[in-house]
Amino acid sequence: MCGSNSKKSIYIIRKMSVPHCARGPLRCEKCRIMEKEKKICLLKVYLEPGEIARPVLDIYFDGEKKFCEYDLIKTFENEEAAKEYAKRNMLNLLD
């Protein structure tokens, strides 16, 4: 399901809306616009809480649903580019 470099963080590829800022779509016009657009993203997901503010997403890890902080590493132009990257780096694509 996910590729990993250590026990504290993993890399995943997921199609999602990219946040614009911490205020979110309820308070930010740019976030409302960006929420409608889905991109294929490479994310570094932290399995343990960090000491800086990051966006949070939910993933299933070891059969459990977890809410984890993440960093957006890269966006892909299309699904083919994401599949090629995933194959080269032994990652699975997530919906």
Give me the residue spans of the domains in the chain. Answer: 3-94
Enter the tokens of residue 12.
């995943």
pTM of the predicted structure, to 2 decimals: 0.82
Residue 7 has pLDDT above 90, yes or no: no
pLDDT per residue over 39-84, tens digit each? 999 999 999 999 998 999 999 988 999 999 999 999 999 999 999 9
Length of the chain in terms of residues written: 95
Enter the tokens of residue 48.
């343990």
Min mean pLDDT across 2-6, 20-24, 62-66 is at 2-6
What 3-state DSSP class applies to 63? coil
Rounded to 5°, angle at Cα 53 from 51 and 58:
100
Distance CA 35, CA 17 (A): 5
Enter the tokens of residue 76.
């892909």
Q: Kindly state the helix (H) or strand (E) to which residue 51 belongs, with its residue range.
A: none
Nearest to 75 by CA among 41, 28, 31: 41
